[in-house]
């Protein structure tokens, strides 16, 4: 096998190590996240009489993650996936699609009780821009009884 000379460079190569990004990663990303919500497994169960029976059980599939895609498919650090999303428009579209698929996964399994509530909340807040909110109602009129004063905060000073 002939050794590559140091002068041979890939097309478009300028300096430094050649990038690991390939256009095929766009399709691979969507395929990686396009997993069935549930998987079926054969499990042996013993009845009360002691007979062993094989049954098929349905369980929640593992949630696909960007870290898993980065390590298993691309062999890069997860931060590299973010860089590719910011620099390659096609990959950015695939990344948005993958995040939407992951959000759906999370919503379905969290509402069905397949994932712990605390983990689901953590992931929804940190990965999908969701947030917890509370609504507080206040009254606009306050009375100070000791001095007989009342303030109507709904009016501007020039309207009094």
Helix (H) or strand (E) holding 154: none
| DSSP class of 97 | H
Q: Are 6 and 46 in contact (CB under 8 A)?
A: no
Token pair of 35, please? 């997993």
**φ, ψ dihedrals at 36, nearest 5°:** -65, 145
Model pLDDT, residue 127: 87
Model pLDDT, residue 17: 73
Model pLDDT, residue 81: 94
Model pLDDT, residue 143: 56
Model pLDDT, residue 141: 59
Pick the CATH number of 24-130 from 3.40.50.720, 1.10.132.80, 3.40.50.2300, 1.10.4160.10: 1.10.132.80
Residue 54 CA to residue 75 CA, distance in Å, equals 38
- Provide the β-strand partners of residue 43: 55
Residue 101 CA to residue 127 CA, distance in Å, equals 12
Model pLDDT, residue 82: 93
Q: Block means of pLDDT (10 residues each) for the chain, length 160 residues?
A: 59 71 94 94 88 91 94 94 94 96 93 89 88 74 54 64
Question: In the chain, where are the structural domains located?
Answer: 24-130
């Amino acid at each position: 096998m002939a050794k590559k000379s140091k002068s041979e460079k890939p097309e478009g190569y300028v300096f430094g190590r050649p990038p690991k990004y390939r256009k095929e990663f766009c399709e691979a990303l969507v395929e990686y996240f396009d997993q069935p919500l549930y998987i079926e497994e054969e499990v042996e169960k013993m009845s009360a009489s002691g007979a062993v029976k094989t049954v098929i059980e349905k369980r929640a599939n593992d949630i696909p993650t960007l870290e898993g895609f980065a390590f298993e498919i691309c062999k890069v650090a997860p931060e590299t996936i973010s860089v590719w999303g910011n620099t390659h428009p096609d990959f950015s579209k695939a990344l948005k699609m993958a995040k939407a698929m992951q959000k759906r996964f999370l919503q379905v399994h969290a509402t069905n009780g397949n994932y712990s509530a605390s983990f689901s909340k953590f992931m929804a807040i940190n990965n999908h821009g969701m947030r917890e909110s509370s609504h507080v109602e206040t009254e606009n009129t306050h009375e100070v009884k000791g001095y007989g004063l009342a303030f109507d905060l709904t009016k501007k000073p020039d309207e009094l």
